[in-house]
A and B are shown apart, each in its own frame.
Chain A
Amino acid sequence: MRADGEAILEVRELVKHYPLHRGILFRKQVGAVHAVDDLSFDLRRGETLGIVGESGCGKSTVAKLLVHLERPTAGRILYKGEDVTRLSGRALKAVRRNIQMVFQDPYTSLNPRMTVGDIVGEPFEIHPEAAPKGSRRARVRELLEVVGLNPEHINRYPHQFSGGQRQRIGIARGLALRPEVIVADEPVSALDVSVQAQVVNLLARLQEEFELSYVFIAHDLSVVRHISDRVAVMYLGRFAEVGTDAEIYEHPTHPYTQALLSAVPVPDPLARARRDRILLSGDIPSPADPPSGCRFRTRCWKAREKCAEVVPGLEVPEWFRGGGPVAHVSACHFAEERRVVPG
């Protein structure tokens, strides 16, 4: 895992709003769900960018936008300098080959009527230039072997596999076209703990082997720390804080990151006594009607008038520009360091 390469994906001012309609005969738009608002980030070659957030924060929408399952309302996604959002037809197809997705639920993302061989080989039907027809079967066997499945099981159906094995099938399908970027949306959250570790290790091994760049989306902060080089914390469609794993976990400066980290149960009864707990009140506001200014202000213990009036930019706070681990971007007017993870 290295993070020094050039940017392979550049996301600029990305916006996705889902319109809300009312009326049947006279349908009119009455508002919009602000799923993603003004996101900008880079994915560097060979790195893993983790995106964490609670349900409804827009992290899955980001995944869909990156692989072009959804079209953005505004903004640009540059793949090797080329704006993907403006492409269509053959040019878009060519780019899509290089950005593949692994889905969360291995039970619903595999067609139950197709054999494993057909599922893993289906990308070749869409992109025939990736493998000549005669060699496809052999390629599929190879892929099954790479993800740790028995190539002899090529003719079996998804229901004959366990959850962990199904997720491996999904990963094999994602790898089929030799992509450069893999967007994984909660790839291990449906799995049992003992199996989760196997899949996390597999993803790490494949990254080395195929020089992949990952966007790893999850709600589990521990898994994200384990696999990511950089981490972005997302809240209500915006990034709250972005930094290296040590910057985010050991030197968080955004109050939301601090609250999120302090809420994670640590499997060690002795550590819990030493922990600094921040209990947030209330729930996440509706993304159809996000708060003005800073979106976290309705649950923030530090909120003042300015927070309702001015949207905090995602930048290194002035008072932290001296350097060190606190000098990372944080969208808070009153950012200050607070260490909440023991150790």
Chain B
Amino acid sequence: MTNTLLDVRDLRVEFRTRDGVAKAVNGVSYSVDAGETLAVLGESGSGKSVTAQAVMGILDSPPGRVTGGEVLFRGRDLLTMGAEDRRRIRGAKLAMIFQDALSALNPVMTVGAQLGEMYEVHEGMTRKDARARAVGLMDRVRIPAAAQRAGDYPHQFSGGMRQRIMIAMALALEPDLIIADEPTTALDVTVQAQVMDLLAELRNEYDMGLILITHDLGVVADVADRIAVMYAGRIVETAPVRELYAAPAHPYTKGLLESIPRLDRKGRELYAIKGMPPSLTAVPPGCPFNPRCPLARDVCRTDRPPLYDVAPGRGSACHFWKETLGEG
């Protein structure tokens, strides 16, 4: 038995919409070990957040529905577990950090009370003890003057400080795994760097697993160990972070890397992936990326590529991964 914390297998999620059934997640598999950071990278609509919501069991349903797959947390399937068992795992073993801290926190409760509530509910502490633990936690995520600020409401904190409170809340019960959904997207770069550093430090200290959901290739490069790139509800490439940046094995990843302007380079024209991501109610047959792909051939329009083994620990869902790698 390895120290695999979370093992998602062939997960499928659908949404019923007016335009038909949207297959938001279409057979996604990934796993995370203790102390490891997996980045799930994708653009809007790629299914990266929906996957996380299904794992956490906080999917909006209806209209969303898990239609297949397994979510094994330490070997137990969360999807078939009773609601009560699942609730006990969520928060205590498995926690989530959301993008928008202002809407994720309760505006009419002081942050000290919100953090303390975790201990009251899950560990049956008295209010006073819970409050003391909450202050300790705020100190831990380096909120200055924690004891005084515990009496403040969320709106009295800046964006970066609010995100720290979200992190404190996720950490409260010392979970084994944290899922962070775009934790720094709403923050300014100088604050973003502070928050990412804090997350990485806490991961090392508590030996937690971390799933980092993001659209930002730069943020990923700084903290992740492995990356899973999602497109139209599927994982199209998975690789250790350095290998992926050095030589992407999927044309979509390659296009993404080439299309971002770089701070350390100045070019005349940016490479642009043509077209736009497909609608999830009408994903093209074959490879979902084929209408935008420079390598697309007939087989790409008819046969859906499986996740080919490119190297140990590396996979690419492209019929022509060898060609892609060779160019890269």
Contact = CB atoms under 8 A, between A and B. Distances in A.
A259 B273 contact: no
- Prevailing SS type, chain A contact patch: helix
B264 A267 contact: no
Contacts of A200: 261, 270
B263 interface: yes
Contact of A194 (B246, B256, B263, B268): B256
Contacts of A201: 269-270, 272
A222 B241 contact: no
A194 B267 contact: no
B242 A271 contact: no
A323 interface: no
A268 interface: yes
Interface stretch (A3-11, A15-23, A107-115, A272-280): A272-280
B15 to A, nearest CB: 18
Nearest to B46: A192
A193 B260 contact: yes
Given A260-B189, A266-B263, A277-B193, A195 B257 contact: no
Contact of B276 (A55, A195, A204, A268): A195
A272 B221 contact: yes
A67 interface: no
Contact of A268 (B215, B221, B270, B272): B221
A133 B45 CA distance: 42
A139 interface: no
Nearest to B222: A265
Given A55-B188, A265-B219, A283 B272 contact: no
B189 A266 contact: no
Contacts of A197: 259-261, 270-273
Q: Size class of B's contact patch?
A: 35 or more
B160 interface: yes
B190 interface: yes
Interface residues of A, number: 47
B277 interface: yes
A342 B256 contact: no
Interface in A206-226: 219-223, 225-226
B188 A270 contact: no
A81 interface: no
Nearest to A162: B276
B189 A263 contact: yes
A265 B218 contact: yes
Interface in A236-255: 245, 249
Contacts of A281: 194
Interface of A: 54-55, 162, 164-165, 192-198, 200-201, 204, 219-223, 225-227, 245, 249, 259-261, 263-272, 277, 279-281, 283-284, 341-343
Given A198-B273, A263-B193, 8 more contacts: A55-B188, A192-B44, A194-B272, A198-B274, A249-B263, A260-B189, A265-B221, A283-B161
